[in-house]
Every structure is written in C-alpha cells, then in structure tokens.
Amino acid sequence: MKFGDIFVVLAVIGIVIIIIMPIPLGLLDVLLSFNIALGLLILVVSMYIKEALEFSIFPSILLIATLFRLALNITTTRYILSEAQAGDLIESFGDFVIQGNAIVGFIVFLIIVIIQFLVITKGAERVAEVAARFTLDAMPGKQMAIDADLNAGLIDDYQAKERREKIQREADFYGSMDGASKFVKGDAIASIVITMINIGAGFIIGIVMNDFTFQESIQVYTILTVGDGLASQIPALLISTSTGIVVTRSASKGNLGSDMIEQMFEQAKSMLIIGGVLIFLAMTPLPTIPFLLISAAFITAGIMKYQSRKKEAVQAEEKEVEATEEEAQEKRKPENVMPLLSVDPIELEFGYGILPLADQEQGGDLFDRLVMIRRQCALELGMIVPMIRLRDNIQLEPNQYIIKIKGVEITAGNIMFDHYMAMNPGSVDGDIEGVETVEPAFGLPAKWIKEEVREDAEMLGYTVVDPPSIIATHLTEVIKKHAHELLGRQDVQKLVDNVKESHPALVDELLPSQMSLGEIQKVLANLLKEGVSIRNFVTILETLADHINITRDTDMLTEYVRQGLGRAISKQFITNQPAKVITLDKGLEQTIMDSLQQTESGTYISMDPNIVQSVLNNLAKQIQRLMSLGEQPIVVTAPIARLYFKRLTEQLSQDLIVLSYNELDPSLEIESIGVVNQ
C-alpha cells in the first residue's frame, strides 16, 4: 500500500497523543469501535493462515494493539472519573450486560477477565515459550537436513538458501512471540487494576465531589466501569485467542477452519458412536429434545461420511486400475527410457553395513563432510564441484563403497565400521594389534584397530582416522584426479559470468569474438588434469586474451597460461629450497622436438619405441633416486618440450610433476640431482 509506512508511524504517534491529551467523546466511540474491529480482523487472519510465518508481523501488531487498548483505557478512565460519562458505546455495553443489576454485571465482567487471564493468556504464554525453545533446539537438525538434501541433489543452492532463511525467520518469530505473549499477560493484569481504580475512585469521587448518593454512585460508576472493561476486554480476548491460534498453528495445507472440519469429522464411526451415546442420554431424565436433535445430526453426518468414504474408495480403486493401465502403456513407449539416460557426475554408493555413516539420526556426519569436500575443492581447484549423489547399493558387500564418475566406477574401498585406520607415517618403531589393510586414497599400508587401541596407537605416533574421514579423503582425491572430466561448458559459463561482474571489458574482448566457451573449457581441463588450480580465473583469461592472436592451439595456449600462473604453480609444487629436481639432456629435448608431427587435430609426438623405453627406464631410476632422498619427484624441462615430455611419461606415472623453466619463480633456487638422457 502506498504511504502505508507513513500511516503506521502516524498511528503510533496518535496513540501516544491519546494518552496525553483528552479527545472528544464522539471520537472516543469511533476509536473504541475500531479497537473491536481490529481484534476481529486479527482473529480472522490468524484462523486463515496455513503456517505461523504467514503472519510474521503478529508480535509487532500485538504490541501496537496492546498499547492502543491501554491508551483508550486511560482516556475512558479520565472521562469516567472527571465527568461520570465515557461515551455512548461504553454506556450501552454497561446497560446491556448489567441489565439493571450492578453486582451481576460486575461478576460477568470478572469472569471474562479471569477466563482471559488464567486460561487463554496463560496457555498462550506457555505455548509461546515452549515453541521458541523447541524451534531453537531444532535449528541445527534442520540445517543439517538442508545440507543433506543439497548434497544429495534434491535441492539446488537457491532452494537451500531459501530454506535456511525460513528457519532463521521461524526462530526470530517464535523468539519474538515468547516476548510478545508477556504483553497480553500484562494487559490483562492492567485491565483488572484499572477496573478496581475506576470503581473505587469513582465511588469516592461520586459521593465526595459530585454529591451522589451511595446507590447512585454505585450504579453510575459500576455501569461505566463494566462497560469500559467490556469495551476493552472483548478485543483483548479476541487478540489473546489469536495469539493462542498463531503459536499453536503448525504447517498445514489448509487454514484452521478447513483443517478442523476435516480432522474432527473425518471418522464416520466416531460420529455414529456419539449419536448412539446421545440417544442413550435422551432416555434419561435429561432434556430429551435437545439430545435427540443433536444425535440425529451426528448420525446423519456419520452416514453421509460413510457413504462418501465408500464412494472415494471405489473411485480410488478405479484410478488405481487406470494408473496401472497407463503405466503398462507407458512402459511400451520408447520415450519412457528418457529419465534413465541422465548420469550423475559424482556418485558414492555404499553397502548396508556402512549406512549409519550417512544417517544423521545415528550420528553419521558424512553429509556434512560432503559439504566440506565441495568447499575444499572449490578453494584448491577453483572449480564448482557438482552435487555428490549418495546411494545405497544392496549388491555391494556390507562394508564396501564405490565411487563413480559419470556413471563409471573409478575406485572402491572397504570400511570396518566400528574400527579406526592407523597408518605409520614412517617414524614409528612400535607395532600395534590390528587387521592389515591398505589406505584407499594413497595406497599406504595401514591397520584396522579397535576403539580401545586407538589411544595407544596415537601415543606411539600412528596417524589414526575414523571411517568417515577415510571415505571423505578418498572421494576428495578422486575428485581432484578427475576434475578435468567433471568441468563442463556450463560450469565454465558460471565462472565467466562471475568474472564478468568485476571485469566486463576482459570478458567482452575474449568472448565470443576471440575464443569459444569450448576452447576455454579445454584449456581449463588441461590445467586441472595436471593439478593446476584455475582459481585465478582472471589471470587465465588475461593470458588467453594476450596470446589468442599468436595461436589457436589449446595445448599451446595452456602452456602460455601456465607461464602466466608461474608464481602460483611454483608455490603449489615446490615447498623446499633449494628444490631438488630432475632435468633433461639437451639432446633428448632436441630429439623430442624433432619427433613432433603436425596434424589438423593438433600436434603429437612420434618417437622410436626403443628410445621411448630407454628414456622411461632412465627416468624411473632418477625418480627412485629422488624419492630415496625423501623428495617429491619434479622434472624441469625447456618450455617448448614440457608438454610433450609430460605426455611421453604418462604411461610411467600420471602424477609426475613436469614444469618448464618459464614456470619457475625467479626467486626459487633449484638443484639438478639427475639428468634424463636417451
């Protein structure tokens, strides 16, 4: 609504003005009538909401409505005590309820206040406290459930964000309701106090100042006080009821009225039994006609409900037959296999014996670890890791799990669920009791040990990990090793869109006029295949823009990008100085360059198999020598030979690090401890 915010501000300021300044009696009648209408509006709205968050402003409305009602009480008290009148509405309420008997009227008013204070307000306050506590206690579990659905691919990032925001709003709402319910309780107490003041002070003022007789003073001030109390307590009762409805409202597909009718009158047997009981009561000395009328209504409703349920059962059976026929027809259609053609990028399947690792109710935290894996890979690799699909597979052994990439099994492992894996980092002399095994991620020798041996193993210096950590580490290494297969054009488009927000000129220059999305994807895949992070995507695009006019060969462009990322590559692969490396003989580098063959699809190396075998044997000896010194094998070559030597050695070791001199940070010190020759 236009200017709605200004209207609310002016309304609150007006309430404060009413407290301070007297207002005409005619305006007072209007405001009292509006107070009743406001209470009815809040009650009706609270009955039609499907969940509490649909009325999220209720705590604020409750505060404003309470303040408004107290402001009217102050105004009416001022008129009652000073002029012995308070407008037509209050006098009409008083005359209607009292019916000429002040004592009866006061008792009726007192009963209404007691009902509101002891029953509705007290109950609503307690429910609000419990709802707030349970909502806050349930937040971690709900957050974990969202993360689980996100990892399982059931929801996307946007839906997960919406659900998290909803959980936060629920916590804020019930926390506010816990405090707002105190307003209702305080309002009920204030009403009782104001009523006592009006009657007591009014009686004294009537006799002392207005020369009323005792009977006149009692009659006048009781009528006005009871009328004032009813005019304020009826809206208060409506809002208290609304408070109870809102805080007890759970998420539902319908509103309160429809749910109440549907659930209370759902069972035909219940209504028929009630009808029979009422017929029995009609035969007793109790009034016969009322019980017979109500009994007839229940029996009629029960019979109608029974017939309706019977009809629904027949319709459901017919629909089931139709659905079976449609399913049979659907199976005959060739297009029915389309949903089966989709392949998940990453799948983790496990046997039933290790299901508890993924069951949060049994303390499993595998879902949380999957979230951390995706974040870790995003930081280290710079790419968006696809959703990881978890599946149980009864065809696997109970303690077995397998990891698939694009539907193809890549690796597998076995877990002893109630054991820990202990690995010797190389410096432990003592032995421990356990079952011999192999660590699945790196192929290291290890042992499965029991819980009671864990502390002793750690004291000896063993590295001890739990089963979820083993699976998480294994999965992380598989993702890193196959990152180049997981990176698709759509993922590259997301990376480009992200960079375009901060570097629009760079993206506009390169795409789509200079390079296609597919060419950039090939360059990134080449980098990921050798373990180079693509997180510095801006530098990658800058380098491509600088060299795209020199060559369109994605392999050569990758080499230029590697040189542009030289400092990061050096820091990633070289940790000790001086770095002990393996170099190539100049003659071998020349032989490699002379063996290159140019084709339309790219450049490949064509070398004499005997020379290749000799080079690989020589390289294996140098690698073994370097590993015996406790160093990671790194080969440094001339820039022009790096790519082709890397391809030549992939059959020996896919994980061998091959760098060019142009990729090394100038500040690095290197020491060649071996030379590979022919």
Element (H, E) at 422: strand 420-423
Cβ count near 222 (within 10 Å): 22
Please state, in angstroms and rounded to a whole number, the distance separating the CA atoms of residues 298 and 277. Answer: 10
User: What residues contact 219, with CB distance under 8 A and at least 6 apart?
Assistant: 102
Element (H, E) at 412: strand 408-414
Please state, in angstroms and rounded to a whole number, the distance separating the CA atoms of residues 659 and 634. Answer: 7
Cβ count near 25 (within 10 Å): 18
Cβ count near 359 (within 10 Å): 12
Helix axes 25-48, 214-247, angle to 10 degrees: 30
Determine if the peptide bond prior to 512 is cis (ω within 30°): yes
Q: What is the DSSP letter of 415?
A: -
Q: What is the DSSP letter of 343?
A: -
Q: Give 489's strand partners.
A: none
Please tell me the number of Cα atoms within 13 Å of 2 on its side-chain side.
Answer: 0
pLDDT of residue 308: 81
385: exposed, middle or buried (Cβ count in 10 Å: 0-12, 13-18, 19+): buried
Rg (CA), the chain: 40
Element (H, E) at 409: strand 408-414
First to last CA, the chain: 83
Helix axes 554-564, 566-573, angle to 10 degrees: 80
Please state, in angstroms and rounded to a whole number, the distance separating the CA atoms of residues 46 and 55. Answer: 7
**Domains of the chain in sequence order:** 15-254 (no CATH), 265-316 (no CATH), 346-484 (3.40.30.60), 487-564 (1.10.8.540), 573-678 (3.40.50.12790)
Q: Which residue is associated with the tokens 């019979």?
A: 303
Nearest to 184 by CA among 113, 133, 106, 250: 113
- How does 104-140 read in b/e, with b if 16+ C-beta sit within 10 Å? ebbebbeebbeebbeebbbbbbebbbebbeebeeeee
Phi and psi for 127 in degrees, rounded to 5?
A: -60, -40
59: exposed, middle or buried (Cβ count in 10 Å: 0-12, 13-18, 19+): buried
Please state, in angstroms and rounded to a whole number, the distance separating the CA atoms of residues 594 and 603. Answer: 12
Nearest to 534 by CA among 485, 570, 568: 568
Please state, in angstroms and rounded to a whole number, the distance separating the CA atoms of residues 232 and 72. Answer: 8
Q: What is the DSSP letter of 118?
A: I
Determine if the peptide bond prior to 59 is cis (ω within 30°): no
Please tell me the number of Cα atoms within 13 Å of 125 on its side-chain side.
Answer: 16
Structure tokens given for 236: 């208060």
Q: Which long-range CB contacts under 8 A does 454-459 form with residues at least 24 apart?
A: 454/420, 454/422, 456/432, 457/420, 457/422, 457/432
Instruction: Reduce the DSSP state of residue 605 to 3 states and report it.
Output: strand
Q: Which long-range CB contacts under 8 A does 368-371 form with residues at least 24 apart?
A: 368/144, 368/147, 369/468, 369/469, 369/471, 369/472, 370/151, 370/472, 370/475, 371/147, 371/150, 371/151
Q: Is the pTM of this model over 0.85?
A: no
The widest CA-to-CA distance across the chain, in whole angstroms, is 130
Residues in the chain: 678
At 36, the amino acid letter reads: I
Please state, in angstroms and rounded to a whole number, the distance separating the CA atoms of residues 592 and 47. Answer: 82
Please tell me the number of Cα atoms within 13 Å of 225 on its side-chain side.
Answer: 28
Nearest to 181 by CA among 114, 242, 238, 121: 121
User: What residues contact 497, with CB distance under 8 A and at least 6 apart?
Assistant: none
Mean pLDDT by 10 residues, the chain (678 residues): 72 85 85 88 84 80 85 84 76 69 72 75 72 73 73 72 81 74 73 76 75 72 76 81 75 62 74 83 81 85 82 81 72 58 87 82 78 87 89 89 93 89 84 90 90 88 90 92 93 92 92 91 94 93 93 91 92 86 90 83 80 90 87 90 89 87 89 87
